Structure 1
Amino acid sequence: MDVNNVLTQLDTADEQGTEELLRRFNRENTHTFTFEQKEEALRSKLCQSVLTVLGRQVQASCQKTCLETLRILSRDKRVLSPVATKEGMLILGRLAGLQVGEEEGDNQRSFREQTQSEEEEEEEEEEVRVVVEALKCLCNVVYNSPAAQQVSVDVQLAHGLCSSLRGARTWRHEVGLFTLRLLFLLSALRSDVRGVLRREWHAVRMLTEVLEHTLDVRWVGPYEAACPDPRELPKPTEDNERAKEALKVLFNLTLSEAGGEEDDHQFRLIAGLLRHLLMLKTETEEKMEETQSHAVNLLNNLPVSCLDVLIDAPVQGGQEDYGGKNMDAVQVLIDFMEKRIDKGSNYKEGLTPVLSLLTKGSRHHREIRRYIKAQVLPPLKDVKIRPEIGTTTRNKLVRLMTHVDMGVKQMAAEFLFVLCKESVDNLLKYTGYGNAAGLLVARGLLAGGRGETQYSEDEDSDTEDINPITGHVEEPMPNPIEEMTEEQKEYEAQKLVNMFDKLSRQNVIRPMGVRPDGTLAPLEDTLRDQSEYNSGSDSD
């Protein structure tokens, strides 16, 4: 539908005519995601005209149609200047039922809860659709316009959203979903808003309460939620979607840790909620994995001291082998990690967060490390196969130690290193020198030893017959020079020397050695260091 024609008719149309005209425009452009650049000025003018209609007292059905038009237009970031103003954002905020630019309570929509006639119910449904459409428009505008982001700060849009959180228990699904989504966008795009949300408006506490209500949590201990009943139906998709949006906002707000007992209590409460969330079943495997991914991201933001909440579940009991700790949530994380490995793609975003979480938990909580090691690095049995060959979790992780992505490679190596209590000898048994070389070089541990973290002296000692270079027990190889004459041996040795000399002079290879501190250096430097060290020892 020609935009110029729409503008011409809007100038003279009454409310009913405006609604019908825009409804036709919406039908023809609902699935249009690109617009011609030559019509940019006309579409911007149409945004202004629609806002003018919304600023008047019109019926809810007309408001909804106008907002649908604005939502379609707001996909184009080039035409948002009329909306990205104080007046435009206030109009949208009020239609969304948010307290913006006014004293609290002045513009809050209230949906009737008493017994209603069929006509009143229809009116209320229309009002709800207006709120949802206004929230959708705000999401588009805030996402696409930096100017609108600044205006949102000026009119305290985030404060209005926080006020809306107080009524989360009575939310209609889409109202709650897009309220949380808009809060996520603001907290993601404006770091200053994150600080204000956290310090002044206590958004972390309110979002925790939203999550608690959405998941229908029943507490049986200070930070222990009752385990879901396996006989219960999976969590409804709508509840799951709102929970994911709340997790995303909490992730933004916990990017920088604060201190104090109140924060510690709040973080531990969140950890308890996330443990409960990890144990929940959803309607599809894909949805469950997506929710678990958001839970993992948020757990990574929490102080590592709070991770003990994942295994402290005294009411539901634990395993004697691990100090009475409950390892159900840790097992879910291990299963999640393996699913992400098996996907074979997007390791950086999909796999490294859970590897990071399991590494931190293993480094700082002995029971978590012992349990994960038993699952991932069980005692070696078939040691005749190279560690990177096979389908076990260990095989998969060892293969990742030579992945092309440096971040993935380092994270996988660090995880296995921590499971081995940062012992080079133990790591080499499970992975082989070739796979572990990158980590050892980066940490200056080529000469062996341990990392700086202190670990308990407990389990660890598998077979001593493993070749540390390849990571498996090799069959004895026949000696190729056994049947050679002395002249043949001398000839082959000289041939080898000549080859190395040629490659060295052509700078194809450069002989390297290992310094006393375990780092690599040119051979001449290491020989000089060793000579100086020996001469110093002799003088002593």
Structure 2
Amino acid sequence: MDLNNILSQLETANEEEIDALLQQYNRENSHTFAFEPKEEALRSKLCQSVLTVLGRQVLPSCQKTCLETLRILSRDKRVLAPVATREGMMTLGRMARLRTGEEGGDEEKSSQEDTLSEEEERVVVEALKCLCNVVYNSPAAQQVSVDVQLAHGLCASLRTARSWRHEVGLFSLRLLFLLSALRPDLRGVLRREWHAVRLLSEVLEHTLDVRWVGPYEAACPDSQALPMPAEDNERAMEALKASFNLTLSYTGGEEDDHQFRLIAAILRHLLMLKTETEEKTEEAHSHAVNLLNNLPVSCLDVLIDLPVQGGEEKYGGKNMDVIQVLLDFMEKRIDKQGSNYKEGLTPVLSLLTEGSRQHREIRRYIKAQVLPPLKDVKIRPEIGTTIRNKLVRLMTHVDMGVKQTAAEFLFVLCKESVDNLLKYTGYGNAAGLLVARGLLAGGRGETQYSEDEDSDTEEYKSAKPFINPITGHVEEPMPNPIEEMTEEQKEYEAQELVNMFDKLSRQNVIRPMGVRPDGTLAPLEETLCDPHEDNSGSDSD
């Protein structure tokens, strides 16, 4: 459709005509993401015209159509000037039923929100989608959102969103995630004034249907239960992403310890759940791992301290089910072809490293799975399909961050003992870490560990004297190259070697050296005829 024609008709059209006109535009442009630059000014005017229509008292059906048009236009960041204003953002906020800082009566209006019709809810969803696009594409809109306290309205909305449809909660959470990601200065306000971390925990509890059986213990998911529905999983992902932003670089205080432990318990419950597809389950686990990395490491004991559900005696009665889930997740990420190890793998490696460093039972369990007692030492540590082989290969990865994280993980499992690390990886693979830690001469790291050293297997003890410390395995004896030679061939090769050294010496590529009587090195010719040599001690008749 011709934009000039649309703009001219919008000026005089009634509500029904506007609805029909914009519906046609939406159908023709619903899949458009790249817009013609030459029509930029016209699209900007259309944004303004649509906002003007939304400012009138029009029916929800017309509002929805206008918002669909605005959502399509908001994909182009160059035309958002009319929307990224106080008036424009307030209009969208009203359409989304969000109370901004200029509006009061949150509690009085909250009861009215529960009675929205299906058509009115569709308007809310479209307005939230528009706000997500506009906030993402416009720094000016981000600033206006802060000025009118849009995030406050989102928090108030999320407290009543349980009775709303899936998409209202989903896009409310997505908008909160975008605001907290793009405006770091907003995170402290969300935590302190609007208690957003606690709110998001409540959203996760409700979405994941958490049933508490202890202070920080959720009932174990029924193995026969149906997988988590896709819609619940989507909302949980957005809540996890927003929670990650709000807890990033935030250590909290004593009053936050309970909340952090509660989050850890919820994340343990999530890690034990399955979704409708393996891909979505992996995505959920990835977000859970990212958020766990933000929590104080002392809170990780919540993952294994489950007295009601029981545990394994050899690990102090701790339940290691979720640690095994994390190990399986880590191995999947290593095996994933073409994946970005820095983003996909290092978070889970860091989490397991810190958990092992701070919690003895976690370290002992992971050590048993990753670095079991050595038996076969005839194969290089980096060759094979075991999880140990895969991690040793990562110790020489081209990405410095991946290499260091993998090496640190194995080092902690070895209780930061250089000798133990070399036993499992070989000096060549471990050299990078040892140089970085200043431990080339051996020794231990600074962290103190309990005394529960593993005993070596008989196979390892018998093979130990023959292990090459550089490669970390027993090498086959190399054949003697001169064994099959005749005496003439040996003399010929020896003469060739002499000629080679003579040529290199004449070209000053190498320079033969000798030792003076005082023990210092000098060119060979100087040591053979040193003018300071004392011959006075020779006999004379």
TM-score (norm 1): 0.88
Q: Which runs of 5+ in 1 are unaligned?
A: 114-122, 507-522, 524-540
1:3 aligns with 2:3: yes
Q: Map 1:321-400 onto structure 2 (within 5 A).
A: 321-344=314-337, 345-400=339-394
CA distance in 1, matches of 2:452, 2:492: 52
CA contact (8 A) 1:257 1:303 kept: no
Alignment partner for residue 430 of structure 1, among 418, 424, 436?
424
CA distance in 2, matches of 1:158, 1:407: 35
1:475 counterpart letter in structure 2: E
CA distance in 2, matches of 1:159, 1:422: 47
Which residue does 1:35 correspond to in 2? 35
CA distance in 2, matches of 1:243, 1:371: 29
Q: CA deviation at 1:171?
A: 2.6
CA contact (8 A) 2:191 2:246 kept: yes
Alignment partner for residue 216 of structure 2, among 187, 211, 223?
223
1:23 counterpart letter in structure 2: Q
RMSD, aligned CA: 2.4
1:256 aligns with 2:256: no
Which residue does 2:112 correspond to in 1? 110
CA contact (8 A) 1:111 1:124 kept: no
Distance change (3 Å), C-alpha of 1:126 and 1:459: same
Distance change (3 Å), C-alpha of 1:112 and 1:269: closer
1:285 aligns with 2:278: yes
2:65 counterpart letter in structure 1: T
1:206 aligns with 2:199: yes
Distance change (3 Å), C-alpha of 1:320 and 1:233: same
CA contact (8 A) 2:114 2:164 kept: no
Distance change (3 Å), C-alpha of 1:229 and 1:495: farther
CA distance in 2, matches of 1:504, 1:200: 76
Aligned length: 499
Q: Which moved more, 1:396-405 or 1:101-110?
A: 101-110
CA contact (8 A) 2:408 2:433 kept: yes
* Cα offsets for 1:24-64 (capped at 9, x unmatched): 00000000111111111110000000000001110000000
What SS does the corresponding residue of 1:220 show, helix, strand or coil? strand
2:235 counterpart letter in structure 1: R
CA contact (8 A) 1:15 1:62 kept: yes
Identity %: 80
Which residue does 2:66 correspond to in 1? 66
Q: Map 1:89-238 onto structure 2 (within 5 A).
A: 89-100=89-100, 101-105=102-106, 110-111=112-113, 124-238=117-231
Distance change (3 Å), C-alpha of 1:233 and 1:453: same
TM-score (norm 2): 0.88
Distance change (3 Å), C-alpha of 1:422 and 1:3: same
Distance change (3 Å), C-alpha of 1:451 and 1:499: farther
Q: CA deviation at 1:4?
A: 1.1
CA contact (8 A) 2:93 2:99 kept: yes
CA distance in 1, matches of 2:140, 2:365: 51
1:470 aligns with 2:471: yes
CA distance in 1, matches of 2:353, 2:503: 45
* Cα offsets for 1:317-358 (capped at 9, x unmatched): 000110000000000000000000000321111101101101
What SS does the corresponding residue of 2:200 show, helix, strand or coil? helix
CA distance in 1, matches of 2:447, 2:421: 15
CA distance in 2, matches of 1:499, 1:311: 69
CA distance in 2, matches of 1:415, 1:494: 50
Distance change (3 Å), C-alpha of 1:322 and 1:18: same
Distance change (3 Å), C-alpha of 1:495 and 1:380: farther
CA distance in 2, matches of 1:336, 1:280: 13
CA distance in 2, matches of 1:69, 1:151: 22
Distance change (3 Å), C-alpha of 1:109 and 1:132: farther
